[in-house]
Amino acid sequence: MGKVVLTIVSQDKDQCYLQALARSPSYSATTSFSCLSKALLDFGKAIKGFSGSLGEKEDYSIGTGMGRAEFSFQTVAGTGLCECWVRIKGLQEEAGQTAEAFFPIDYLDAAAIEAFSRELIKMGTGHGKSAELKNQFEKEKA
Q: Is the pLDDT of residue 100 over 70?
A: yes
CB-neighbour burial class of residue 140 (10 A; exposed 0-12, middle 13-18, buried 19+): exposed
Q: Is the pLDDT of residue 22 over 90?
A: no
pLDDT at site 54: 67
Q: How many CA atoms lie less than 13 Å away from 15 in the CB half-sphere?
A: 7
pLDDT-above-90 percentage for the chain: 37
Question: In terms of residue numbers, what domain contains 26?
Answer: 3-141
Q: How many domains does the chain have?
A: 1
Mean pLDDT of the chain: 84
Backbone angles phi, psi at 95, to 5 degrees: -80, 5
pLDDT at site 1: 66
- Rg (alpha carbons) of the chain, rounded to whole number: 15
Which CATH number is 54's domain given? Answer: 2.30.31
Q: Is the pLDDT of residue 25 over 90?
A: no
Q: Is the pLDDT of residue 87 over 90?
A: no
For residues 5-20, give the mean pLDDT: 92
For residues 69-86, give the mean pLDDT: 85
Q: How many helices (H) and strands (E) does the chain have?
A: 3, 8
For residues 103-110, give the mean pLDDT: 83
Under DSSP, the state recorded for 49 is T
